[in-house]
């Protein structure tokens, strides 16, 4: 019988076994508790960490909708591009590949090296918006850890012509192609759509082994049709640019409206910027001044003063007003007419000759509260409601704060501030026989009902006055268009000093607002030239010619019938030879073009200019 091993005969002391069992029990309890805590409290975190190590999520960018003009001509489109990404933890570069990658990406090698050296990052963009040709050069390097995403780059075919209106897009946080200005910003939600996502699996080396585990398709953006007519937009931009350059002006703006539906057919600013380039980084160049900036309208406000006085019954078109010697004193202020030759003027002549004194005398016959109410109904102090970012509502102070001189200066366009778009909309009242419409930047088939502002009789009376402005004796003969009757009003206003009280001495804004054909208005056109310095400063000499060129070409291109009677020309044939002596004389009736001298108003080669106001 064998003897047992001595170790088997050893016995542990009871307290030692108790300690060991206790420690084992504590360890088991600790492990169970830790597992329970991880499973409950840290479950989401751990699951996310595991997914990051085995899953890859690729954003499927939504295709941004197009912006087109009213006829479908593209104004903004998105072109597919490629973004190169990398996981620095899995990028393995062979000798010479860093330089080759930097060359293919067209980025500095040092910046690329720093990006790939940061292994704390699991994802980094190396370059955005590569063409397919550039992306193929990167793919040809066969570098592990690189990935490629499809993204889109916005392109603007009309460039500077529509830059201020259409705007541009840019990157915001992790989103590309986000609307940053103009229509792109105003309708970003509808144009941008919603990105999708594709989830796949990758191995420990970062290689994708299943790229279609889960797919959430993107919801592409919708196309947007603007009310703009690209042909008319080009004409307006071209003529505005030429006028700004020719008059050595600081800038200018132009707005064209469709009288029938209130849609904006053209809207341009100069200086311009190209939304396809880096110029868009300068807010001074990208601001749409026709919608955002304010100015004192000057004498383009006088037709509203006349309309108010006519509506209140204090004057009629042929009512004569005594303008004295062309000056009027109120308190310590003296208002003057620059070119004063007629003492007693009818209301029509006050508008035709742009008399400050005549205008203020009409306004003083109306209570300030009623005066404010009329201006408000015409749309002053109220945003046009286009939805354009930063749209201005203008400045119209409450009537209770007015001093006597305030009502006086407002009658001829000082002490109130408007945008060019507001001014164009206000003239809808005269073109539409007394009612107005909301202004729209997008094309719509909806028929809107006009809102009555003044009576149709008053609107037609003022329209006749505005027509006289473009005829002999008026301040805007340069706005006349052969074959068409034209109505409108000039404005010349001093600019307010920036950071100081009062007006600048040599800084003016010249403007003209009008419509045609006057018999059945089709288009309204408002032109503003900021600080002309080539000699001429008046609206009739600086802004009215732009109106004539743009409106004339628009009417001809759109085939709008003439409404001005053309002169009748009679053939001027030589007289027949005298009959032979033996032939009985015959009585011949002949009409010659120069038989009767022309009678009428003497021609005025240089119409009186309006006062700087």
Sheet holding 487-496: strands in order across? Answer: 264-270, 251-258, 523-530, 503-516, 487-496
Backbone angles phi, psi at 182, to 5 degrees: 60, -150
Quick check: 361 pLDDT over 90? yes
Looking from the CA of 55 toward its CB, the CA atoms found within 13 Å total 15
Range of lowest pLDDT (88-102, 327-341, 576-590): 576-590
Quick check: 605 pLDDT over 60? no
Distance, in Å, from the CA atom of 172 to the CA atom of 53, rounded to the nearest integer, reads 28
Please give the pLDDT value at position 26: 77
- For 246-351, list the strands marked E by DSSP: 251-258, 264-270, 320-322, 327-330, 333-336, 344-346
Please give the pLDDT value at position 201: 65
How confident is residue 421, by pLDDT bands cut at 50, 70 and 90? Answer: very high
Query: pLDDT of 426-454, one tens digit each?
Result: 999 999 999 999 999 999 988 888 999 99
Average pLDDT of span 265-291:
88
Average pLDDT of span 568-597:
48
Distance, in Å, from the CA atom of 517 to the CA atom of 81, rounded to the nearest integer, reads 48
Give 149's DSSP letter.
E
> Taking every pair of C-alpha atoms in the chain, what is the biggest distance, in angstroms?
186
Distance, in Å, from the CA atom of 296 to the CA atom of 503, rounded to the nearest integer, reads 11
The secondary element (H helix, E strand) that includes residue 163 is helix 163-166
Between 516 and 117, whose confidence is greater?
A: 516
Between 235 and 121, whose confidence is greater?
A: 235
Quick check: 568 pLDDT over 70? no
- Per DSSP, the residues of 432-491 read TTTEE---BSB---PPPPPEE-S-HHHHHHHHHHHHHHTSTTSS-GGG-BTTB--EEEEE
Between 53 and 83, whose confidence is greater?
A: 83
Distance, in Å, from the CA atom of 524 to the CA atom of 231, rounded to the nearest integer, reads 16
Please give the pLDDT value at position 297: 95
Distance, in Å, from the CA atom of 185 to the CA atom of 202, rounded to the nearest integer, reads 38
Quick check: 502 pLDDT over 80? no
Please give the pLDDT value at position 586: 39
Please give the pLDDT value at position 592: 29
Please give the pLDDT value at position 613: 42
How confident is residue 256, by pLDDT bands cut at 50, 70 and 90? Answer: very high
Please give the pLDDT value at position 209: 54
Quick check: 590 pLDDT over 90? no
Please give the pLDDT value at position 604: 29
How confident is residue 396, by pLDDT bands cut at 50, 70 and 90? Answer: very high
Active site residues: 299
Query: pLDDT of 84-115, one tens digit each?
Result: 888 888 887 878 888 888 888 888 888 887 88
The two structure tokens encoding residue 135: 């992306």
Q: What is the dihedral of CA 598, 599, 602, 604, to 10 degrees?
A: -50
Average pLDDT of span 134-157:
85
Please give the pLDDT value at position 309: 97
Yes or no: say if 593 and 570 are a contact pair by the CB < 8 Å rule: yes
Range of lowest pLDDT (67-71, 163-167, 324-328, 488-492): 324-328
- For 228-288, list the strands marked E by DSSP: 251-258, 264-270
Angle at 505 between CA 399 and CA 535, to 5 degrees: 120
Query: pLDDT of 338-358, one tens digit each?
Result: 777 789 999 999 999 999 999
Quick check: 602 pLDDT over 60? no
Distance, in Å, from the CA atom of 177 to the CA atom of 220, rounded to the nearest integer, reads 13
How confident is residue 24, by pLDDT bands cut at 50, 70 and 90? Answer: confident
Between 577 and 168, whose confidence is greater?
A: 168
Please give the pLDDT value at position 339: 74
Yes or no: say if 183 and 156 are a contact pair by the CB < 8 Å rule: no
Query: pLDDT of 176-214, one tens digit each?
Result: 788 999 999 999 999 998 888 777 666 555 555 555 556
Distance, in Å, from the CA atom of 293 to the CA atom of 116, rounded to the nearest integer, reads 48
587 three-class SS: coil
Residue with tokens 């899995």: 90
**CA distances to 90, 98, 112, 258 from 95, in Å:** 16, 7, 15, 66
Distance, in Å, from the CA atom of 543 to the CA atom of 472, rounded to the nearest integer, reads 18
The secondary element (H helix, E strand) that includes residue 233 is helix 230-246
Yes or no: say if 515 and 427 are a contact pair by the CB < 8 Å rule: yes
Between 541 and 118, whose confidence is greater?
A: 541
Please give the pLDDT value at position 40: 67
Q: What percent of the chain has pLDDT over 90?
A: 54
Q: Is 519 exposed, middle or buried (0-12, 13-18, 19+ CB in 10 A)?
A: middle
Please give the pLDDT value at position 597: 29
Distance, in Å, from the CA atom of 1 to the CA atom of 6, rounded to the nearest integer, reads 15
Backbone angles phi, psi at 202, to 5 degrees: -135, 155
Please give the pLDDT value at position 164: 96
How long, in residues, is the chain?
A: 613
Quick check: 128 pLDDT over 90? no
Distance, in Å, from the CA atom of 509 to the CA atom of 539, rounded to the nearest integer, reads 8
511 three-class SS: strand
Please give the pLDDT value at position 409: 94
Residue with tokens 């288009």: 523
The secondary element (H helix, E strand) that includes residue 82 is strand 74-86
Residue with tokens 């010249």: 510
Between 137 and 205, whose confidence is greater?
A: 137
Please give the pLDDT value at position 424: 98
Quick check: 530 pLDDT over 80? yes
Quick check: 135 pLDDT over 80? yes
How confident is residue 608, by pLDDT bands cut at 50, 70 and 90? Answer: very low
How confident is residue 131, by pLDDT bands cut at 50, 70 and 90? Answer: confident
pTM score, whole prediction: 0.78
Quick check: 575 pLDDT over 90? no
């Amino acid at each position: 019988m064998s003897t047992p091993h001595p170790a088997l005969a050893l016995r542990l002391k009871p307290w030692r076994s108790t300690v060991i069992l206790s420690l084992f029990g504590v360890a088991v309890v600790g492990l169970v508790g830790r597992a329970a805590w991880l499973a409950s409290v840290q479950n989401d975190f751990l699951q996310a960490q595991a997914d990051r190590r085995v899953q890859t999520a690729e954003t499927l960018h939504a295709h941004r909708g197009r912006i087109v003009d009213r006829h479908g001509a593209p104004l903004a489109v998105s072109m597919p591009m490629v973004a190169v990404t990398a996981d620095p933890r899995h990028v393995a570069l062979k000798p010479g590949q860093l330089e080759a990658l930097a060359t293919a990406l067209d980025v500095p090698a040092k910046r690329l090296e720093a990006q790939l050296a940061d292994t704390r990052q699991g994802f980094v963009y190396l370059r955005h918006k590569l063409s397919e040709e550039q992306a193929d050069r990167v793919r040809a390097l066969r570098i592990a850890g690189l990935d490629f995403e499809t993204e889109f780059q916005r392109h603007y075919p009309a460039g500077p012509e529509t830059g201020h209106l259409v705007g541009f897009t840019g990157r915001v946080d992790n989103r590309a192609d986000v609307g940053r200005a103009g229509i792109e910003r105003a309708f970003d939600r509808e144009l941008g759509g919603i990105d999708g996502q594709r989830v796949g699996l990758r191995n420990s080396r970062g290689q994708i082994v299943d790229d279609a585990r889960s797919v959430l398709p993107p919801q592409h953006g919708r196309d947007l049709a603007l009310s703009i007519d690209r042909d008319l937009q080009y004409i307006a931009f071209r003529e505005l640019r030429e006028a700004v350059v020719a008059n050595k002006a600081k800038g200018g703006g132009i707005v064209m409206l469709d009288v029938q539906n209130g849609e904006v057919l053209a809207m341009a600013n100069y200086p311009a910027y190209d939304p396809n380039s880096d110029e868009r980084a300068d807010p001074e160049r990208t601001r749409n001044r026709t919608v955002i900036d304010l100015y004192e309208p000057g004498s383009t406000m006088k037709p509203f003063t006349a309309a108010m006085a006519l509506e209140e019954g204090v004057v009629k078109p042929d009512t004569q007003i005594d303008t004295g010697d062309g000056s009027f004193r109120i308190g310590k202020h003296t208002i003057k007419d620059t070119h004063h030759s007629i003492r007693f003027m009818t209301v029509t002549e006050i508008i035709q000759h742009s008399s400050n004194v005549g205008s203020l005398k009409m306004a003083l016959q109306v209570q300030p509260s009623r005066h404010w109410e009329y201006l408000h109904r015409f749309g002053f102090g109220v945003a046009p409601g286009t939805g354009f970012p930063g749209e201005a509502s203008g400045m119209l102070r409450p009537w209770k704060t007015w001093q006597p001189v305030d009502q006086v200066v407002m009658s001829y366009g000082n002490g109130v501030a408007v945008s060019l778009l507001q001014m164009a909309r206000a003239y809808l009242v005269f073109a539409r026989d007394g009612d107005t419409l909301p202004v729209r930047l997008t094309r719509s088939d909806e028929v809107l009902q006009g809102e009555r502002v003044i009576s149709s009789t008053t609107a037609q009376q003022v329209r006749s006055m505005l027509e006289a402005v473009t005829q002999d004796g008026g301040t805007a003969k340069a706005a006349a268009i052969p074959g068409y009757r034209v109505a409108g009003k000039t404005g010349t206003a001093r600019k307010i000093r920036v950071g100081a009280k009062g007006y600048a001495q040599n800084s003016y804004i010249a403007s003209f607002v009008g419509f045609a054909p006057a018999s059945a208005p089709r288009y309204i056109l408002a032109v503003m030239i900021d600080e002309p310095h080539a000699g001429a400063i008046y609206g009739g000499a600086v802004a009215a010619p732009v109106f004539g060129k743009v409106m004339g070409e628009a009417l001809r291109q759109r085939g709008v019938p003439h409404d001005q009677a053309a002169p009748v020309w009679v053939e001027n044939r030589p007289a027949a030879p005298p009959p032979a002596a033996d032939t009985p004389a015959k009585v011949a009736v002949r009409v010659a073009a120069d038989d009767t001298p022309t009678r009428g108003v003497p021609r005025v080669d240089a119409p009186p200019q309006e006062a700087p106001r």
